[in-house]
Structure 1
Amino acid sequence: MSTWIPLESNPEVLTKYIHKLGVSPAWSVTDVIGLDEDTLEWIPRPVKAFILLFPCSESYEKHRAEEHERIKEVKEEHPSNLFYMRQFTHNACGTVALIHSVANNKEVDIDTGVLKSFLEKTASLTPEERGQALETDQDFTADHQALAQEGQTNASEHETVIHHFIALVNIEGTLYELDGRKSFPIKHGATSEESFVKDAAKVCKEFMARDPNEVRFTVLALTAAQD
């Protein structure tokens, strides 16, 4: 298993990254500065995904294990157009969350480049095979490593990272949590284009409620770029 330099939760760096990968400049990554209804109104529209960065605490790992056992028995069905991939590369969670955010929103245009090529060649693969493909994709690795070094902190000094990125997206009216460390996508109930921001904020609050003494949470969103 290879190890990448971790991405910083810096919207400017992440926006530069998705543009370098080929995402249209009409889209950007922006900070979500609060999860109350009034504050959520400040996020540029439309909002296509929430990206949550959180610490992998004992309570989170306990919840993840219990969730896995519960869902494993159910054998849930998911839409055929849902793009889901596993994460097998250390510290690639930021890239995986961005891929999940963009790949599951067809309105987000992707020009010819690293991301479009990756999505085309992995379209018919399993989530596990997609994760393995990312690990061996030299162009993706090079772009990630270059952008990871542009953050405000010395990312290479933090290779033992205890934080993790996930994506929240609306797929055919269901709010999905897409986390490359989990064996399958996680459903969080019904949503809509109108209610997605509020519904995604509720899921973020649930993560925070499991670690009430923890303050190291960051929420970002994939949105229309501001003029």
Structure 2
Amino acid sequence: MSGEDESSGWQLTESDPGVFSELLKTLGVPLIVDDLYALDAASLAQFQPISAFIFLFKWVQSPTSPMAGNFDSSFPGFFAHQVVNNACATLAVMNAIGNISGLPMGSQLADLIAFTTGMDPQMRGMAITSSDWLREAHNALSPPSAISLDGLGLPKTTEDAYHFIVYMPYLGSVYEFDGLKSNPISHGTYEESGEGWIAKARDVIEARIATYPPGALDFSLLALHEDPLPSLTKQLDEAQKSNNGFIAEQLMVRITNENAKREQWAFENSLRRHNYVGFVHALLSAMAKSGTLDKAKEDARKVMKERIAKQKEKGGAAMDED
């Protein structure tokens, strides 16, 4: 979850599959993340087997609301508290992959998980967020702003806080891992038949979404699942050896789509890494020299005033014109 304290050095993370998949690649974990827009079985089929759901939601303090599930104070698996601002995305990933048995991972990650074995959630969270290499991996696609407004005496505005949590199976039950909670939350056992843990998790997530106003867009859902490329490549090789042209053609289409998705992720991540300050400075200088900067400023002020008026009509919080 985000906050005003940036002293920890952890930057905000975008809820984007390319960002999470790049983080997992850095950690040496053979999993990827994809956006989910529906939870029905047909929509989830292309991502199976799914290891976990990563749920992003707008955090609202509501102490009177009854909590779904039960705290498991004797949880035997991996669970870490969030002890610094902005680290919840990586904490969610760690709480997920730390509970997947036999998952391959890079040596640094394996050493970190081994080092925290036996620690309580608070100490484990402190150990994780004190890891320089993990913080650097987290920040790789969330560079700090090159422009600071500190010291200008500008009024502070309160921004909505968003938070990442995880839903996944562990020892026959569906668990919720929220780094801001004291313990993992058990949502009960699930049937091994049919969709298995997915059906139970769907009910829990849909019930949580139902607590928001109709049509609210204050959350997103990601699926953490196996990278399908190695399996698809192997299946293609087998289909080609058996001269099964129809299956081979279908597999090639899927592989092409997966590669195109990764190319798009790589392009978007390159944009996230780029520093645009020089470009913006050059553009403003060119506009000033050509005499178009003042008009652009006035046009921007006009647009902002229109947005403020619309916001006030909707009963929203006031916005600052400057």
TM superposition score category, shorter chain reference:
0.7 to 0.9
1:34 aligns with 2:30: no
* CA-CA distance at 1:58 after TM superposition: 4.1
Q: What SS does structure 2 have at the residue aligned with 1:132?
A: helix
Instruction: Verify the 8 A CA contact 2:11 2:142 in the aligned structure 1.
Output: yes
Instruction: Verify the 8 A CA contact 2:70 2:186 in the aligned structure 1.
Output: no
Structure-1-length-normalised TM-score: 0.82
* CA-CA distance at 1:57 after TM superposition: 2.2
Amino acid at match of 1:22: G
Q: Residue 17 and residue 137 in structure 1: after superposition, are their counterparts in 2 closer, same or farther (change >3 A)?
A: same
Partner of 1:124: 118
1-side partners of 2:24 and 2:113: how far apart? Answer: 14
Q: Residue 99 and residue 160 in structure 1: after superposition, are their counterparts in 2 closer, same or farther (change >3 A)?
A: farther
1-side partners of 2:182 and 2:61: how far apart? Answer: 19
Displacement over 3 Å in runs of 4+ = 76-79
Instruction: Verify the 8 A CA contact 1:170 1:176 in the aligned structure 2.
Output: yes
Partner of 1:98: 93
2-side partners of 1:122 and 1:180: how far apart? Answer: 15
* CA-CA distance at 1:203 after TM superposition: 1.6
Q: What SS does structure 2 have at the residue aligned with 1:210?
A: coil
Instruction: Verify the 8 A CA contact 1:93 1:165 in the aligned structure 2.
Output: yes
Instruction: Verify the 8 A CA contact 1:55 1:217 in the aligned structure 2.
Output: yes
Partner of 1:184: 183
CA RMSD of aligned residues (A): 2.8
* CA-CA distance at 1:36 after TM superposition: 2.7
Amino acid at match of 1:101: A
Instruction: Verify the 8 A CA contact 2:89 2:164 in the aligned structure 1.
Output: yes
Amino acid at match of 2:198: V
Structure-2-length-normalised TM-score: 0.59
Structure ranking higher on relative contact order (CA contacts 8 Å, 6+ apart): 1
Question: Any gaps of 5 or more consecutive residues in structure 2?
Answer: 1-6, 150-157, 230-322
The 5-angstrom pairing of residues 165-204 of structure 1 reads 165-191=164-190, 194-204=195-205
Partner of 2:315: none
Instruction: Verify the 8 A CA contact 1:53 1:164 in the aligned structure 2.
Output: yes
The structure richer in helix per residue is: 2
Q: Aligned match of 2:50 in 26, 47, 64?
A: 47
Amino acid at match of 1:85: A
Q: What SS does structure 2 have at the residue aligned with 1:110?
A: coil
Equivalenced residues, count: 211
Q: Residue 192 and residue 100 in structure 1: after superposition, are their counterparts in 2 closer, same or farther (change >3 A)?
A: farther
Instruction: Verify the 8 A CA contact 1:11 1:30 in the aligned structure 2.
Output: yes
1:78 aligns with 2:78: no
